[in-house]
Chain A
Amino acid sequence: MAVPAGRASGQRFTGLSILVTGAAGEIGSAVAGALVAEGARVTLADLDATVLTQLADELGSAAHAVPTDVTVEEDVERAVAEAVAFAGGLHGVFNNAGIEGPVGPITELDLDRFAQVLRINVLGAAAVLKHSLPRLDAGGAVVQTGSTASVAGSAHMAPYVASKHALLGLTRVASREVAARGVRVTAVLPGPVHGRMMQRIESGRSGSGTATATTPTALDGGRYATVAEVVSAVLFLLSGEAGFVAGTGLLMDGGRLA
């Protein structure tokens, strides 16, 4: 049985070792905090060493910071090794590092910046899978940060949309490769999330254009998802409650794509 009964409610991760990439970001840090609150030992990986160290200090002895550039394979390898050393193994990964990339029409694309988005969002995630999957045993889980952009297009967001489509493909392939030994690879597919990334995209600070995602027919008049709502879905997927959920992305978009 993949869902043992009897663990106290709200302590789904007691004693488990989880690696979180993009841990300095809004979603990554919130997931890390929630995991620590539910008893996990969490290894925090991010490019931003300053924020990462602050976060580790806040989270206390259950958190360990490893400054990591996911586009550098040696960094990823070290982050995984440190997670194993810090917490005596590896049981889950929140493969979350990513950027929104340049916003603007395809006719104005800077292809080098497009490539950089793919290096971070796709190859970075692939490197994390490459080095973490061998360390996960039956019951282990990887949750990747996809997006509604994994299954739908959005004007002026070509690099991001292409990268998130690719990430879902990677999720399905990785799942098929490790499912037989009881390791699950899944993705969360949130719509736009209320936070800094959407502020940058909507204000034009991420490139030559802007993009918006208002959908007044959706839940609560088209509001964005909250970080807390993404956290809930990530923890569900990492937990044994989702013990038969594999190779799939779970939409949470307020009905945007219904």
Chain B
Amino acid sequence: MTRTSAAGGGGSASLAGEVAFVTGAGSGIGRSCAVALAARGATVMVTDISEAAAREVAAVTGQPDNFRRLDVSDPRGVEAAVADTVDRLGPLTVAVNNAGVGVPTPYRTAEVSDEEWRRVLSVNLDGVFHCVRAEVEAMLRNPERGRRGRGSIVNMGSVGSLVGLAGAVTYTSAKHAVLGLTKATAAEYARDGIRVNLVTPGYVDTAISPRTDEEKAALGARHPMGRLAAPEEIAGAVCFLASADASFVTGAHYSVDGGFTSV
């Protein structure tokens, strides 16, 4: 068999009837998540710092009106976006908090300015907190739906949630913190039927991180599987966690890293 042997296609996790809110959905992993959620039947609000990118992805999902610009570092903006999603699309039952910024050029800790620290943390940690707070608040208003609970929140971590990435102290710190945020929130709201989990991808081959073939090969070699992830492979785990198939999964981190961490 080829690579597809124990493999398959569309997946079994139906998301029909779910209303999903995705941040950073204009490109990369977030875009794949929005498209995959919609393909499984969810109504999806595509949000991104770039309104043009959000609009384009909304068109791809077949729900061309469901987009808006969102800067997750702005707490009032996040609250407004979640409220708008509920108003327009119905009770929020799925959220994918994916928006994040990277570290374009590696630096060491002693070289990081106050401004750089705030730039990364304001999006990668504060932004996730703003979203989770608003989403939980919205989901608490939902009725219990048996094993589907009131809602499922999936945060986007990284191998940097689990191991230290040299050259990226800001990113590593934020992604570790998001693991703690995920677990604490999961523990708090488990009894309310709100699940909160983290997906921790390895390096992903996306258009927003243009790399030469040599760079891709070098990065891929850091994963035991010897390659980078495709965005769709991250979206598969996100859809599983969002769905009722994962009805007993909360407070967990799901590594989708080709064996990078083996934890």
Contacts and interface: CB of A to CB of B under 8 A. Distances in A.
Q: By CB atoms of chain B within 10 A, which of A89, A140, A141, A243 has the most?
A: A243
Given A220-B191, A248-B263, A138 B2 contact: yes
A134 interface: no
Interface of A: 1-14, 16, 18, 38, 89, 91-92, 136-141, 172, 175-176, 179-180, 182, 184, 190-191, 217-221, 225-226, 229, 232-233, 235-236, 238-248, 250-258
B36 to A, nearest CB: 9
Nearest to B221: A180
A3 B236 contact: yes
B230 A1 contact: yes
30 contacts: A1-B230, A3-B9, A3-B230, A6-B9, A7-B10, A9-B9, A9-B11, A9-B14, A16-B1, A89-B1, A89-B5, A175-B224, A219-B250, A221-B191, A229-B248, A232-B13, A232-B246, A240-B6, A241-B11, A242-B237, A243-B233, A245-B237, A245-B255, A246-B259, A252-B248, A253-B252, A254-B248, A254-B250, A255-B190, A257-B251
B232 interface: yes
Interface string B221-263: 0011110011011101101100001111111111111110111
Contacts of A242: 233, 236-237, 240, 256
Nearest to A169: B262
Interface in B8-25: 8-14
B7 A243 contact: yes
Contacts of B253: 251
Contacts of B1: 16, 89, 91, 137-140
A89 to B, nearest CB: 6
B191 A180 contact: no
B93 to A, nearest CB: 16
A209 to B, nearest CB: 26
Nearest to A34: B12
A225 B252 CA distance: 14
Contacts of B236: 3, 236, 240-243
Interface in B152-180: none
B248 A16 contact: no
A258 B183 contact: yes
A245 B263 CA distance: 11
Contact of A180 (B3, B225, B237): B225
Given A2-B4, A220-B191, A233-B249, A246 B225 contact: yes
> Is chain A's binding surface mostly helix, strand, loop or mixed?
loop
Q: By CB atoms of chain A within 10 A, which of B186, B190, B202, B248 has the most?
A: B248
B41 to A, nearest CB: 9
A176 to B, nearest CB: 5
B8 A241 contact: yes
Contact of A217 (B191, B224, B237): B191
A255 B11 contact: no
B60 interface: no
A240 B9 contact: yes
B225 A182 contact: yes
Given A242-B256, A255-B190, 15 more contacts: A7-B8, A9-B10, A16-B1, A139-B7, A175-B224, A179-B226, A179-B259, A238-B6, A241-B239, A243-B236, A246-B224, A246-B262, A248-B255, A252-B248, A253-B252
Contacts of B130: none
B12 A141 contact: no
Contact of A140 (B5, B8, B183, B237): B5
B80 interface: no
Nearest to A173: B262
A244 B7 contact: no
B246 A244 contact: no
Contacts of B230: 1-3, 243-244
B151 interface: no
